[in-house]
A = this chain, B = another copy of it.
Amino acid sequence: MKLLRILPYARKLLSETIQPGEIVIDATTGNGNDTEFLAEQVGENGHVYAFDIQQAALDSTFTRLGELNKRVTLILDSHENVEKYVALEIGGAVFNLGYLPHSEDLSIVTRPDSTLKAIQSMIGLLKKGGLIAVSVYDGHEGGHEERDALLAYVKTLHQADVHVVRYELFNQRNNPPFLILLEKLKDFKIPGQIK
């Protein structure tokens, strides 16, 4: 299959981007699926900062990671506070917007304000050529508002600063997620404007 589904497509691009030894961010740790993938990408000398606002998510990720925990710092805080924890350049970041998978509390979802603040901060931290992959699930309550706020924000990024791609399996049933991919094209610190 040449036309990949969104998660394999995001991982293919991230694996081409992230170099061993780099710092990367899992902005929405959830069940640790992406944390594990990122920990494998950065190798023994790299590091993953993994954020979640639910202790249960971090606990299950800790169990999942096993030996890979050496490469990961699990952080019980909102990703919007990323700059409190990470000051060095990052090679990439991953967001999965929407619910925590398998959470019992469906009121715990990502929110527009914190999502945009986090993405803006991480674009600032990103290396030139680095990539942020955002999977957008908009089926939950408030999901449309978050999606629209995200799309409005990324349109404010200048095309000479950041390439923004929307990638979508267009004929899937049941409100499928789509990808927003951000590639930083040159060095700068303050990207775009949150309205």
Please classify the interface of chain A as helix (H, G, I), strand (E, B), loop, or mixed, using the class held by over half of its residues: mixed
Q: Which of A147-182 contact B (CB under 8 A)?
A: 151, 154-159, 162-173, 180-181
Is A86 an interface residue when CB atoms closer than 8 A count as contact? no
**A129 close to B159 (CB less than 8 A):** no
Q: Which of A7-24 contact B (CB under 8 A)?
A: 13, 16-17
**B131 close to A183 (CB less than 8 A):** no
Which residues of B are found within 8 Å of A3, using beta-carbon distances? 13, 131, 163-165, 181, 183
Instruction: Tally chain A residues at the interface, Cβ within 8 Å.
Output: 31
A129–B16 Cα gap in the complex (Å)? 24
Copies per complex of this chain: 2
Is A2 an interface residue when CB atoms closer than 8 A count as contact? yes
A91 to chain B, nearest CB (A): 12
Q: Which of A75-124 contact B (CB under 8 A)?
A: none
Binding site for B on A (CB under 8 A): 1-3, 13, 16-17, 129, 131, 151, 154-159, 162-173, 180-181, 183, 185
